[in-house]
Structure 1
Amino acid sequence: MNFTPGSKVIVQGIAEPLGLTYAPLMKAYGTQVVAGVSPGHGGQMLYGIPVFDLVEAAVANLGTIDTTVILTQPYAALDAALEAIASGIRQIVLITDGIPPLDMICLLRKAEATETLVVGPNSPGIIIPGQMLLGIHPSEFYTPGSVGLISRSGTLTYEIALELTRAGLGQSIGVSIGGDAIVGSSFPQWLQILDEDENTEVIVLVGEIGGDSEEAAAHYIAEAIDKPVIAYVAGRTAPRGRRMGHAGAIVDSQIAELGTDIGTADSKINAFQRAKIPVADRPSQIPTLVKKMLKLPTKKA
């Protein structure tokens, strides 16, 4: 992972509505946005950012690029990501939602073969508070600190970051792995990254109903993570009896002894509790649990 203020970043789809909105915000936050890419718009300057028709042209003019933030239309996202990989970019942040599943399968095969980190799709991206913004996080909710925040949800990430900030608890990173059915990087992958990150002292994991990613994360935490982890699961009041995971995940969960109720809030909470991971009942409780983990004084109710 190479997310530092010195990292060179491009925005693919900079001439799209989202690109026009968020590229200047990323740059204003301190991100080194060195170029934008939008076919047919090459040679323009948008908010002081040079625009190229192709990623290859941007790399030829500016040298090695560390990260791309993709804000294209869904059916153009695969081509944009493959173009970035072909140009040597090994960190891809996919903000676009609704990318066709077969496109994501193709992309992830290529990413695995080239050791490329893919965040998203359907993700607000990544923020390193006080240093860089890769996506659409509302930066005013965040403040620098030592709490690593990883989530499946976008808006819940913002809400919990604000709760932490109001409690005087800054964040080392905020990342959403994405809300689409098929996403790039996983909870275990980011748990390992934050476990090795010297700026992170405690990890907050925010999950939601559906699928088995939280159960898998709980198992991974118990087996491989040394830093303290706090969890929150959204969707406790969703109606029962509705299967939200896919058949393969259900079978895998039974083999892994994760339970037959895979995908429900109870299944996920029970998995965290079996791994001895504190689970918050509501977002406002998270700062108190973080302070207990860090042995900081907490206010009495």
Structure 2
Amino acid sequence: MAILISAQSRVMVQGITGKSGALQTKMMLDAGTHIVAGVTPGKGGQTVHGIPVFNSAAEAQAEIGFDTAICFVPARAAKDSVIEVVDAGVKLLVLTTEEIPTHDVAALLAYAKAHGTTIVGPGCSGIIAPGVCKVGSHPVRFFRKGSIGVVSKSGALSYEVGKTLSEAGLGQSSVIGLGGGPVWGFTQRDAVEAYEKDPETKVIVLLGEIGGSSEEEAAAWIGSHCVKPVVSLIVGRHAPAGRSLGHAGAIIQGSAGTAASKIEALTHAGVHMVGSPEELVQTVRQLLDQ
């Protein structure tokens, strides 16, 4: 089965009347997602693709009820929007918004944790369970239902690897794009642990990049707890030290956060390391055949 989302997920879209919110709502509906409400302050009473719009998350919760939310609001309004949806009792929030100040992100993650809300993001592509549900921006055509659990910081890399796996006939149980950091809610370690517990997932794919220590933290958990095979591709192996390459979290500081340090930690944990999406497909196929 999928992790985090399911066919029973009742989804609310924050910023549903905006350009991105309306577009992604249509794409999520086409993917089978059960969207029950949208929220845009001052736009209550409207509909978007047949979905009722409310002025606040509290109003939507009282009138319709939802357990999952996805946020498309601009960065300037993101802090208040997240607090609003957490206060409404949501269990999962996919926070797609980029460029939220890091100190605000840290405060929001702490607030969400204290209230029992899991945040995927910020600045993320979200989650897709092929053929079941999509809460995010992953293109449906790149994915197919199967038994491979994929987690990636980069949305684009998760698209590419998902497409490569699908073209090889290897489907996915879930694919998660966590966002570029430098501070995350749901982490690679969290995803690996969830896939380890998921009976449908047979092989776990961890897609990482330079910067931060999240891959090393995942490696420590894998080495101590993971029974299922894990395959990993780390990108940015030739990046110069001290330079950000697109993601805020992709910054190397000295020897910390380098591709070499991540590869060493993952290899020590028994992870199957690969150098390209094509090699990843070959390794995953071999592990499934075993």
TM-score (norm 1): 0.90
Q: CA deviation at 1:161?
A: 0.3
Letter in 2 for 1:11: V
Q: Distance in 2 between matches of 1:266 and 1:213?
A: 14
Q: CA deviation at 1:2?
A: 4.8
Q: CA deviation at 1:295?
A: 2.1
145-154 or 214-223, which deviates more: 214-223
Q: Does 1:282 align with 2:255?
A: no
- Percent identity for Structure 1 against Structure 2: 40
Q: Distance in 2 between matches of 1:16 and 1:279?
A: 41
Q: CA deviation at 1:283?
A: 1.3
Q: Structure 2 matches for 1:109-120, cutoff 5 A? A: 109-120=110-121
SS of aligned partner of 1:179: coil
SS of aligned partner of 1:147: strand
Q: Does 1:100 align with 2:101?
A: yes
Does the 8 Å CA contact 1:11/1:70 hold for their aligned counterparts? yes
Which one of 27, 32, 35 corresponds to residue 33 of structure 1?
A: 35
Q: Distance in 2 between matches of 1:37 and 1:199?
A: 34
Partner of 1:291: 285
Q: Structure 2 matches for 1:220-239, cutoff 5 A? A: 220-239=221-240
Q: Does 1:132 align with 2:133?
A: yes
Does the 8 Å CA contact 1:243/1:263 hold for their aligned counterparts? no
Which one of 8, 18, 23 corresponds to residue 20 of structure 2?
A: 18
Q: Structure 2 matches for 1:14-163, cutoff 5 A? A: 14-63=16-65, 65-163=66-164
Give unpaired runs (5+ residues) of structure 2: none
Give unpaired runs (5+ residues) of structure 1: 251-259, 297-301
Letter in 2 for 1:272: L
Q: Distance in 2 between matches of 1:188 and 1:67?
A: 21
Deviations 1:7-48 (A, max 9, x none): 100000111221021011101111000111001111001111
71-80 or 199-208, which deviates more: 71-80
TM-score (norm 2): 0.94
Q: CA deviation at 1:180?
A: 2.4
Does the 8 Å CA contact 1:147/1:200 hold for their aligned counterparts? yes
Letter in 1 for 2:286: K
What is the CA RMSD across the aligned residues, in angstroms? 1.7
Partner of 2:175: 174
Does the 8 Å CA contact 1:2/1:66 hold for their aligned counterparts? no
Letter in 2 for 1:17: K
Letter in 2 for 1:160: V
Q: CA deviation at 1:269?
A: 1.1
Q: CA deviation at 1:243?
A: 6.7
Does the 8 Å CA contact 1:6/1:32 hold for their aligned counterparts? yes
Count, aligned residues? 283
Q: CA deviation at 1:197?
A: 0.7
Does the 8 Å CA contact 2:189/2:215 hold for their aligned counterparts? no
Letter in 2 for 1:68: A
Deviations 1:160-193 (A, max 9, x none): 0011001110000000111121111111111111
Q: Distance in 2 between matches of 1:148 and 1:121?
A: 21
